[in-house]
Structure 1
Amino acid sequence: MNSRAIKILRELLASDQPITSDYLAHILDVTSRTVRDDIKALNHSLHMHGAKIKSTRGTGYELLINDDQNFRHYLNQSLNHVSQEQALLDSPDARIRYLVKRFLLAERYLKLDDLCDEMHISKSTIQSDLRSVKKMLEKHDIYLDKKPNYGLKAIGNEVKLRFAMSEYIFDRSETGSKTIWRDQLSTIADADKEQLDKVWSVIINQIKENHISLADIAINNLYIHIAIAYKRIKSGHQVSLINQEFDEITKQKEYRVAHHIVRAAEEIFMVKFPPEEIAYIAIHLLGTKMVSQTNMSEAELENIMEKQIQIMTTKILDALEAKMHLGIRHDKELLIGLGLHLKPAINRYKYGMNVRNPMLQDIKLNYPLAFEAGIIAGIVLEQEMDVSIDENEIGYIALHIGAAIERKKMQSSPMCCYIVCASGLGSAHLIKYKLKAVFGSRIEVMGTTEYYKLKQIPFDKTDFIVSSVPINEDLPVPVIDVNAILSDKDIAKIEAFVEEDIDHVFEYIQEDLLFLNKDLQTQDEVLAFLVDQISKTTKLPDDYLKRIYEREEIAPTAYGNLIAIPHPITAQTNDTFLTICTLKKPIDWADKRVQFVCLLNVEKDSKEDLQHMYEMLGKMVDNPSLIQQLVQCKNYRDFINTLLAQN
């Protein structure tokens, strides 16, 4: 199975609704006919392994699995045995990853001509790829040293080189089994598999004996780093730590655990680890330890949290409330969970330790609002600690924030209503019980009354009125007019109010700021176009575009499903509105393809609750079918009607 077929299969697996060939063609940057041919070949293979791809005219493709065990076995084998040569032919990203691995593993300088022959590519292609390679390595303070007649070599701090190795030379995706990357580790570290298994056992035993709680991904990281240390020590490379750092680390409990692990590893590998290597392993334990209790009081929390962490947690929550008004400032679980997360994170930032987040893309795709809040938290941390927070860390923070947002939804109190009816008590009760049957706990009926008793309604405790008689008086709460016998249309009107349907969000989508089917070729062109259009009607700061790029540098705003939602790093406009642009053809936006761009402009110092606007954007991000329909729209009315039909 080639890499294009794998991408098709992954899209089908990830979607809970049919996907069209046009959508897949945009994602893969091929024609719809090529997609159909690929699916035909893929279907032939799947048919023998417990699954098939069903095609429905006018709807799209969907994956049907009839033998789960057979299909999973096939999936594991197929996704982990894609040939490197095929990947190189199919994907520029794969070429870049391959080059990064080659430079990180090379002991000598590498000549470009040799790499071109090795990869079967031209010199101009590899020179273009090298620009991306340099950017990836620069994140770890590693640079490519150029030596005339010798070539290029990755140069950097030994600790940073190892972190980069751990990040880039292993396939540790969720689709790759532990056996696969342990096999990789054996080859790359030049170690016997039996030796590596013994090291794994030592790590697990020491963690259990010393009651250190580590996530699976953290254990994997530690295991891989020990093997890398073995390879580097054999090659004559050692990490170095300044005395102050070394002394501080040796005082920690984690240093004693690291000492036991390293002494056992020395016997297994028959190589001497210097003291700095023990400290280096201890950094991993310091950087990943977790406190499992989260049901404690704030007073108990103070006993396990340094003052610095308490202050930072509070500043993050204050910033979130000030900028996004999510209503989660006093969520106790968030306060504790975020604080406990920051405790080990401090050590990661302090020692420049990378953290890998295998859930990052899923978080960005499924919880865009929480991820944006994570960006704000990351900015606070950068300001407070003078460190750079990458999007992997932001993703973990977003999980805590996302959980708080969901809790708020669950805990929201029911809306309170009064029923006004002129037909007598019987019909009023009929409306009441119908509402109870349809809406359950979402609505609390405070009471029923006749029209002439309107003034007796406790408006301060009432969210809205359901009335079967016309009310001409100006009341302090909304009135929903219905029939005495509730029809489906009446229920829909109440539903729209209770759910606060997206109708009121349309005030943010202005016809003169909706640009459909534009022939723009690059991300730069799109952003420049949108900012230019906004500036014709709205006063913008001179550095508005620059602030949009500042946000992109933290984490690209392309979320998958052909959608990007760029915005300035901080609120800049006098009003909140959306500027939307659809494109004739998808463009490259970081590592994603994008055809729908929504520039989000938020009012400075706004106290407005934007939760529903963010939810609408979240629905777009999570709905490939909707985006496919929106990019086909020719005018404002089509666009709005398409949105309405989805809500």
Structure 2
Amino acid sequence: MNNRQTNIVRILGEQKEWITGKELSKLLNVSDRTIRSDIDNINKYYQSSLIKSNQRQGYHIDESLLNRLNIEVKYSIPQTPSERCVFMIRQLLFEKNEINLTILQSQIYVSGYSIENDLKRIRKMLEPYPKLRLIRSKNYIYLHGDERSKRALYRDLLAAETKGNFLNINRIASLYKNFDLLLVKDILLEVFDEYKFSVKDIMFPMLVIHIGISIERIMKYNFIKTDRKDKEFYESREYKISKEFFKRVSDKINIKLVEDEIQLMTLLLMGKNSLNYSTNLLNVDNKKLDIEQLVINLLEEIREFFGTDFIDDIDLIVGLKMHIQGMVSRAKNAISIDNVFLQDIKRKYPLVFEMGIYACHMIEDSLGFSVNENEAGFIALHLGAANERMNKNSKYKVIIISPHNQSFSSLCQQKIDDNFGERLDIVKTLNYFEEGEVISYQPDLILTLSSLQHSLDIMTIQISMFISSEDEMNIYQAIKKLDKKKFQIEFNSKISNIIKKEFFYTNFDGKDEKDIINKMCSKLEEHKIVPKDFKESVLKREEMSPTSFSYGFATPHDLRSQSYLSTISVALLKVPVKWGDMR
């Protein structure tokens, strides 16, 4: 088969739904007739009707034959301009120093004209990053710029990729063909309601995903074995909820009631408290491995390589620990599991999948056995969900107080979403103000359509039903105030961590700026905060231009931002000295 025919198999294998000949011909930049000829040749090559044809619906791949013939669908072909741009940026960031545009055309089956337009889009995408440039040299392109800007670009692309839709339950449910995940979700909510139990809204979709995976395992008899004998565990509310939930699900969709899966769901519901009931040590090839330390190391590597910091996400740490424990168990018992999300993640969230692949390489090095693509997809799910949580947490929670009917309230809410959806998350619309209920949602901002006075320390703005330009300005100003408050809190928290008592000097004795820098840098070097050439770099920077930018204040620093640990050393001088043109 030629490359185009191979890619037809890949496209149909990924989509798993009917695709018309016109859609395929447009995607691969050939005629309908060529597509028909290619389909015939593919079926002849495999000596079977691998690809079904229908005059009205188009073409569809026989999944059972695809699996039986062991045909691997290796990668996704980017189909939209946006997907192609991300595809090229990803290659330039992680896979290749340069891209040959002629080879690229044959890889993704688009015309030279389309590629030229895509390059214009990429340059537009790079505008917020002044230190990054897309350079073209004849028929090659490469990304020029510093590492920090490249990581910032990746982080922003990742946020845009996952924003709002990574954990869309309706989309997730559509991937399960053997049972109705939405029905399962309703049963879960019903049991939660009876036990007066709740989970954070942002964690709920990931919980539903885990349950879907669990039900798939039960249907295929690929159970994960667990061994917990703690009496408190079985008496916990989370265990009772999990048992009742699986009992009802087994009645509705006719699956076996599996104790091990009940226990795993219990741990999920417990969140960080599950750490009290699970061991940190894994037995791999007769060696004890600290699973929590492995996860911490993994997240540190991701932060270093991708510039995305998940290190404080306890839910992610718990989820990865449980998944890696299950992965080891599957490897020991030679159990493989399908991942219904795999093709969806590879196609729609390539940057998240890239993280999953990177993480799995690290896990392979630590555990000493190979990790397959399905497992990489599951790891990517955890990382993508964490990234969405991080983005979601950056929005301010808003409650709208609207005494009007539902249609008017919806109109107002829609306009706020359209204009401020990037910054505000409307958590509830209430018909009236009731202090207890408002507090329960912990909002950052209250928008009210009628005059309102209350004693809560929550910023409140009165707006009109149709959101005038003045209302928009008031909301914008409120966001700026919230940003300032948030920044101050974060700044105070971070600054207290990097200004340490042993590097804070009062009545500091120094003859001149060189003497002061020498003494302060020597102490930092002595405590192994900075490398040996740090002092020399600070003095060199000072020679270029004094860092005294106002009277009574100087900020000496090195040229390369090099240190082993982020630290600010502060000296309040006993006697003022001349520093540049100032004292």
Alignment TM-score, normalising by the size of structure 2 = 0.31
TM-score, with structure 1 as normaliser: 0.28
